[in-house]
């Protein structure tokens, strides 16, 4: 029978006791026991060794175990802002919550380096990471201040500060100090002194949200490090100790005292000429006021849209990935054209102010409860601003009858005049200087959006989403869904042209009703002027004059299922095949409509509308581009004798090029003699279409030239009537005109080019019939015009109706001649007193109509 299983713990104890017995009974064991019992010094040495081992274990558990590796500094990537370039390659914006600029060691001037070494670590070039004399002094200072609440002086070398700032943080404790020392020793074994100093000068926090010397030089003096004089370099060197103290105006005396001490140390160390130091010590601080980076405020809506797209791709913070917007150090090339963008802002603002003129103050920009008296904090938190003339954003601190006080984010206050009756305490308003105080200014309640695009690439050159981006980030150019009204009609007519109609096709401008079923009954459409002309007209005339009834007939005859497919194909929107959508009842955005009109201007080829051309990471590698076509043979060192490599077209043919040209040619008539004649005196080859939605709640204009296409609308954010007088031609078209006037030198004067298979034919503008006699003139109302026809769709020399009419005219003429001849032969003889009156001969027979 096998023995019972021995418990595991009993076996371990038995084997361990056996091992101990063997060790104890060995020669070495007997020697150790004899010395331990017989020699006191041996026991003390044993206790000391045990204490050292215990201390090492304690240090490993509390300090060393979780220390980061110093080798990580070799590949350290500091958080960097994202820099944005415009269409010309110039930096136009940055996304940053901290000021950071990375320089190489060789980029830092020697006086700047010497100033920091004099202030922080004069033995930097000789120590191994720790200044033990300074460390002992820091320990003594810590012991003397223990329990007092005061913070002991650091005693840290620059290497220790690198370890603290980058690897372990700024916790105030003995443990952190030990970690700092251990890491500093390791860092000195991994990095060169120059590399350590480069990290330090780029990463040290120096106040005013600036990290690193270059960012601080710009924040405090508005200079680059290479432009700093001696006293400015010395001032920056005092900031690591207390940046939020020395950088304030109220601490100027303390800052000068500390700065002059640093200058003295530079002279003492032999790093600066004593005479130059004496001159520098006599200088004031010379700090500039705290300010934010100055970028063109007109770019706010464009840059906010770029920011949204970047965050969607790469994330916002460092935790979101290596290419995050606020830490990844991206370089972003955009298509923003500063001239066009500023012109768009000015034009849209002018249009909004024209409409709002005389309507008076309606409501504040915002409101805050300031019963606790913290009005400045409330105003700063709301983060409103306005960049228009001399306007400022303030908050009504108090109101008493006809007097009030306005406060500003910098803490200043002033009397407020021109008070609206509804203005009350806590209202946030726009004001402007007036006399010894400020007067209320009216920010238009109405708003709108505007986009300008290059139709040959889809690159958006300008984008405006309201009166001012400082009043709110809602972008009406991309986020507001609005009914486009009659600006959608060109695509209805484009569908009709695809299905056999021509610009000269006759369409009835009369009442049109449709039965919508038992629930909805019969719906009758009407023109903007509430009536029809009662006759037939050319399709061109219907588009030029924006006739709703003609458009509905065209859509109905073509088929609304075909029409809505065209809308979807050009990117306006996806709608059900209801006739009301042919008049612009569906929702779209300014950006989408602009891109659709770009397809018209580009002979039916449409490019995706883009704001970003490409994105580079911090090392310059392109990680995303809008144009992702590849050309493998384009970078050959030598020609291989094969045909030249060519990139495929990035655009998509969304419309027949002939149809697109026909529509553009008709839309030129809208500018020449239609609803957009306000643009006619620009004397440029322009096309476009106005739009006015039911109410009217929105007014539109879309169009441009062969190189620039734009769209604009204005309306209330909560749609309501603009008033019966508001039309696209009276409010939206002038906005586009202002934009063109501001950039006129860049607009092409060459006309649109017809694609192959288009025939230009002279027709009668009213009847649409082909004519041969006469020539078109520059008169907008010329009876004869050139019209664009697809091959074999142009009017024939004579229609069957014309032939029948000619036959009738010839028959009547023959009858008249025969009757006249018979009358002459049967007439009685006359006397001298009679007067013979002959019937005038019939007119010569006219040639048959051509």
Q: What is the pLDDT of residues 797-823, one digit of tens each?
A: 665 566 566 667 777 777 777 666 665
pLDDT greater at residue 127 or residue 48: 127
The first and second tokens of residue 583, run together, are 């008049």
- How far apart CA 565 and CA 632 sit, in angstroms, is 37
Distance CA 309, CA 312 (A): 5
pLDDT of res. 564: 97
Q: How confident is the model at residue 212 (pLDDT cuts 50, 70, 90)?
A: very high
Q: Residue 191: its pLDDT value, please?
A: 87
Asked whether residue 850 carries a pLDDT value surpassing 60, the answer given is: no
Find residue 405's DSSP bridge partners.
Answer: 398, 415
Q: CA 107, CA 226: separation in Å to the nearest integer?
A: 8
Beta-strand runs (E) in 418-490: 427-434, 437-441, 447-453, 460-464
* Residue-level pLDDT at 49: 79
Given the residues 298, 447, 457, 486, select the one marked as catalytic. Answer: 486
| Predicted local distance difference test score (pLDDT) of residue 698 | 96
* 294 a catalytic residue: no
**Any idea of the CA torsion for 615, 617, 621, 622, to the nearest 10 degrees?**
-20
In the structure, what pLDDT confidence band is assigned to residue 179 with cuts at 50, 70 and 90? confident
> Which residues are within 8 A (CB) of 136 and not within 5 positions of it... i.e. 6 or more apart?
none
Band (pLDDT 50/70/90 cuts) for residue 828 is very low
Please enumerate in sequence order all residues whose Cβ is within 8 A of that of 516, keeping only pairs 6 or more positions apart, or say none. Answer: 522, 523
511 band by pLDDT with thresholds 50, 70 and 90: confident
Pairing of strands 392-400, 447-453: unpaired
CA dist 379 and 480 (Å) reads 27
Cβ atoms of 157 and 310 closer than 8 Å: no
Of 831 and 65, the structure prediction assigns the larger pLDDT to 65
pLDDT at 347: 98
Average pLDDT in the 79-104 region? 92
CB 850 within 8 A of CB 771: yes
Name the helix (H) or strand (E) containing 847: none
Q: For 13-27, 374-388, 415-429, 539-553, which range has the lowest pLDDT when averaged over its residues?
A: 13-27
Q: Among 439-443, 482-486, 637-641, 665-669, where is mean pLDDT lowest? A: 637-641
Q: Residues near 261 by Cβ (< 8 Å), separated by ≥ 6?
A: none
Contact between residue 52 and residue 169 where contact means Cβ atoms under 8 Å apart: no
Taking the C-alpha atoms of residue 64 and residue 56, their distance in angstroms, rounded to an integer, is 9
Q: How many CB atoms lie within 10 A of CB 441?
A: 18
Q: Which residue has the tokens 């009547």?
A: 812
Q: What is the DSSP letter of 60?
A: I
* Whole-structure pTM value: 0.81
The 10 Å CB-count burial string (b at 16+, else e) for 385-407 is bbebeebbbbbbbbbeeeebbbb
CA geometry: angle 676, 335, 304, nearest 5 deg: 90
Beta bridge partners of residue 399, listed in sequence order? 404
Nearest-angstrom CA–CA distance, 800 and 84: 65
Q: What is the pLDDT of residues 515-528, one digit of tens each?
A: 777 776 777 777 76
Sign for the pseudo-dihedral over CA of 208, 210, 212, 215 = negative
Q: Is the pLDDT of residue 829 over 50?
A: no
Q: What is the pLDDT of residue 292?
A: 63
Residue 384: HSE in the Cβ half-sphere, 13 Å Cα cutoff: 25
Find the range with the poorest average confidence among 57-66, 461-470, 839-848: 839-848
Report yes or no: 491 and 372 within 8 Å, Cβ to Cβ: no
Max Cα–Cα distance, the chain, nearest Å: 185
Q: How confident is the model at residue 62 (pLDDT cuts 50, 70, 90)?
A: low
Helical spans, DSSP H, in 121-192: 132-145, 158-162, 174-190
Q: Closest by alpha carbon to 481, among 611, 596, 590?
A: 590
Q: What is the pLDDT of residue 650?
A: 86
- Region 402-416: mean pLDDT is 93
- Token pair, residue 814, equals 């023959």
Give the number of other CB atoms < 10 A from CB of residue 770: 21
Q: State phi, psi for 609 to the nearest 5 degrees.
A: -75, 130
CB atoms within 10 A of CB 544: 24
Nearest to 709 by CA among 603, 588, 569: 603
* 199, burial (CB in 10 Å: exposed 0-12, middle 13-18, buried 19+): buried
The β-bridge partners of 513 are 524
Q: What is the mean pLDDT of residues 559-588?
A: 96
Residue 55 has φ and ψ, to the nearest 5°, of: -65, -40
Catalytic-labelled residue, pool 118, 120, 316, 544: 120
**Contact at 8 Å (CB) between 20 and 13?**
no
Note if the bond before 696 is cis, omega within 30 degrees: yes
Q: How far apart are CA 576 and CA 568, in angstroms?
A: 11
Tell me what the mean pLDDT of segment 190-216 comes to: 91
Q: What is the pLDDT of residue 598?
A: 98
Active-site annotation holds for 188: no
Q: What is the pLDDT of residues 158-172, one digit of tens each?
A: 888 888 777 655 655
**Is-contact 97 326, C-beta < 8 A?**
yes
As a whole number of angstroms, the distance between CA 559 and CA 578 comes to: 10
Residue 448 or 12, more confident = 448
Q: Does position 720 have pLDDT exceeding 90, yes or no? A: yes
Nearest partner of 168 among 152, 185, 183, 151, judged by Cα = 183
**CB-CB contact of 199 with 83 (8 Å):** no
- Around Cβ 217, how many Cβ atoms within 10 Å? 24
Helix (H) or strand (E) holding 544: helix 539-544
Residue for token pair 């984008």: 463
- Structural tokens at position 104: 């190489």
Question: What tokens does 299 get?
Answer: 């770019």
Query: Mind listing the pLDDT tens digit for each residue in 228-262?
Result: 999 999 999 999 988 888 988 888 999 999 999 99
Task: Spell out the residues 6+ positions from residue 834 whose beta carbon is closer than 8 angstroms to its own.
Answer: none
State yes or no: pLDDT of 665 exceeds 80.
yes
pLDDT of residue 567: 98
What percentage of the chain carries pLDDT values higher than 70?
83
Q: 29 pLDDT exceeds 90?
A: no
486/27: higher pLDDT: 486
How high does pLDDT run on average in the chain? Answer: 86
Residue 845: pLDDT above 50? no
For residue 848, the model assigns a pLDDT of: 36
Task: State how far the Cα of 145 lies from the Cα of 216, in Å rounded to an integer.
Answer: 32
- Chain segment 759-795, per-residue pLDDT in tens: 999 999 999 999 988 899 999 999 999 999 999 998 8
Residue 8 burial by Cβ neighbours in a 10 Å radius (0-12, 13-18, 19+): exposed
Percent of the chain with pLDDT over 90: 63
At residue 264, the pLDDT reads 95
Tens of pLDDT along 410-441? Answer: 899 999 998 999 999 999 999 999 999 999 99
pLDDT at 104 exceeding the cut of 80? yes
Q: Which two tokens stand for residue 419?
A: 């008070």
- What does the block give as tokens for 179? 């970690």
**Residues paired with residue 537 on neighbouring β-strands, in sequence order:** 507
Any residues with CB less than 8 A from the CB of 321 and at least 6 apart, and which? Answer: 314, 315, 328
- 183 band by pLDDT with thresholds 50, 70 and 90: confident
pLDDT, residue 152, reads 47
- Separation of alpha carbons 394 and 53, rounded Å: 67
Token pair in block for residue 200: 């330090």
541, pLDDT greater than 60? yes
Check whether 364 has a pLDDT greater than 90: yes
Can you give the pLDDT at residue 838?
29
**DSSP letter string, 643-670:** PPP-PPP-SEE-S-HHHHHHHHHHHHHH
Name, in order, each residue with C-beta under 8 angstroms of 837's C-beta and a sequence gap of 6 or more: none
User: Which residue in 194, 225, 192 sits closest to 101, CA to CA?
Assistant: 225
Query: Tell me, what's the pLDDT at 427?
Result: 95
Helices (H), 26-98: 27-38, 40-59
Alpha carbon distance 690, 187 (integer Å): 69
Q: Which residues pair with 764 in a beta bridge?
A: 784
**pLDDT score of 702:** 98
pLDDT digits (tens, 9 = 90+) for 577-625: 999 999 999 999 999 999 999 999 999 999 999 999 999 999 999 999 9
């Amino acid at each position: 029978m096998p023995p019972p299983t021995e418990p595991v713990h009993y076996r371990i104890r038995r084997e361990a006791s056996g091992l101990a017995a063997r060790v104890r009974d060995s020669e070495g064991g007997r020697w150790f026991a004899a010395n331990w019992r017989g020699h006191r010094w041996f026991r003390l040495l044993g206790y000391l060794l045990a204490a050292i081992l215990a201390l090492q274990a304690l240090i490993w558990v509390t300090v060393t175990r979780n220390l980061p590796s110093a080798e990580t500094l070799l590949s350290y990537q500091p958080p960097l802002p994202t820099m944005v370039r415009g269409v010309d390659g110039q930096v136009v914006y940055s996304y940053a919550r901290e000021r950071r600029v990375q320089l190489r060691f060789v980029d830092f001037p020697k006086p700047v380096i010497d100033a920091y070494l004099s202030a922080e670590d004069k033995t930097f070039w000789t120590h191994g990471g720790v200044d033990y004399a300074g460390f002992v002094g820091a320990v003594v200072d810590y012991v003397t201040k223990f329990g007092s609440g005061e913070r002991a002086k650091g005693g840290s070398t620059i290497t220790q500060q690198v370890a603290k700032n980058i690897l372990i943080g700024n916790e105030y404790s003995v443990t952190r100090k030990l970690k700092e020392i251990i890491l500093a020793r390791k860092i000195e074994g991994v990095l060169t002194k120059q590399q350590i100093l480069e990290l330090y000068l780029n990463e040290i926090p120096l106040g005013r949200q600036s990290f690193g010397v270059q960012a601080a030089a710009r924040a405090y003096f508005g200079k680059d490090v290479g432009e700093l004089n001696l006293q400015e370099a010395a001032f920056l060197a005092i900031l690591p100790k207390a940046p939020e103290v020395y950088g304030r105006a109220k601490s100027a005396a303390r800052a000068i005292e500390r700065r002059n001490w640093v200058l003295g140390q530079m002279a003492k160390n032999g790093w600066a000429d004593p005479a130059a130091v004496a001159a520098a010590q006599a200088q004031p601080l010379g700090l500039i006021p705290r300010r934010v980076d100055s970028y063109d405020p007109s770019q706010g809506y464009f840059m906010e849209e770029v920011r949204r797209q970047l965050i969607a791709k790469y994330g916002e913070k460092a935790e979101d990935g290596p290419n995050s917007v606020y830490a990844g150090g991206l370089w972003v090339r955009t298509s923003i054209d500063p001239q066009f963008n500023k012109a768009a802002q000015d034009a849209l603002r002018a249009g909004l102010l024209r409409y709002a003129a005389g309507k008076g103050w309606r409501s504040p920009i915002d409101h805050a409860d300031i019963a606790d008296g913290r009005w400045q904090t409330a105003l700063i938190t709301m983060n409103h601003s306005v960049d228009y003339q001399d306007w400022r954003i303030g908050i009504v601190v108090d109101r008493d009858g006809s007097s009030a006080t306005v406060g500003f984010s910098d803490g200043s206050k002033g009397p407020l005049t021109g008070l609206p009756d509804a203005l009350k305490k806590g209202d946030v308003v726009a004001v402007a200087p007036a006399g010894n105080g400020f007067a209320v200014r009216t920010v238009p309640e109405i708003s709108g959006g505007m986009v300008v695009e290059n139709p040959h690439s889809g690159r958006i050159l300008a984008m405006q989403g309201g009166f001012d981006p400082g009043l709110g980030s809602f972008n009406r150019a991309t986020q507001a869904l609005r009914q486009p009204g009659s600006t959608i009609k060109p695509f209805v007519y484009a569908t009709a042209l695809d299905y056999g109609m021509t610009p000269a096709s006759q369409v009835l401008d009369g009442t049109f009703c449709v039965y919508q079923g038992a629930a909805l009954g019969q719906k009758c459409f009407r023109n903007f002027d509430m009536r029809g002309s009662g006759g037939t007209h050319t399709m061109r005339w219907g588009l030029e004059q924006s006739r709703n009834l003609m458009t509905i007939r065209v859509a109905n005859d073509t088929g609304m299922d075909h029409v809505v497919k065209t809308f979807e194909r050009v990117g306006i929107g996806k709608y059900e095949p209801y006739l009301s959508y042919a008049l612009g009842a569906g929702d779209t955005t300014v950006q989408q409509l602009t891109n659709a009109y770009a397809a018209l201007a580009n002979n039916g080829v449409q490019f995706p509308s883009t704001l970003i051309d490409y994105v580079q990471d911090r090392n310059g590698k392109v990680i995303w581009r809008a144009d992702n076509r590849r050309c493998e043979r384009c970078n050959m060192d030598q020609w291989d004798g094969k045909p030249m490599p060519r990139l495929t077209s990035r655009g998509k043919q969304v419309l027949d090029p002939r149809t697109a040209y026909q529509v553009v040619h008709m839309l030129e008539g809208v500018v020449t003699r239609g609803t957009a004649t306000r643009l006619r005196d620009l004397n440029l080859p322009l096309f476009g279409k106005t739009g006015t939605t039911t109410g009217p709640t929105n007014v539109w204009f879309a169009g441009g030239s062969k190189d620039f296409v734009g769209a604009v609308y204005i309306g209330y954010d909560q749609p309501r009537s603009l008033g019966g007088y508001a039309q696209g031609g009276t409010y939206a078209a002038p906005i586009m005109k202002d934009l063109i006037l501001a950039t006129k030198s860049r607009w092409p004067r060459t006309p649109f080019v017809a694609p192959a298979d288009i025939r230009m034919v002279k027709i009668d503008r009213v009847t649409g019939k082909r004519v041969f006699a006469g020539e078109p003139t520059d008169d907008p109302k010329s009876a004869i015009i050139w019209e664009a026809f697809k091959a074999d769709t142009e009017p024939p020399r004579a229609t069957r109706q014309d032939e029948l009419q000619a036959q009738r005219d010839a028959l009547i003429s023959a009858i008249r001649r025969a009757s006249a001849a018979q009358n002459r032969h049967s007439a009685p003889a006359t006397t001298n007193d009679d007067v013979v009156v002959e019937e005038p001969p019939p007119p010569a027979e006219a040639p048959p109509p051509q």
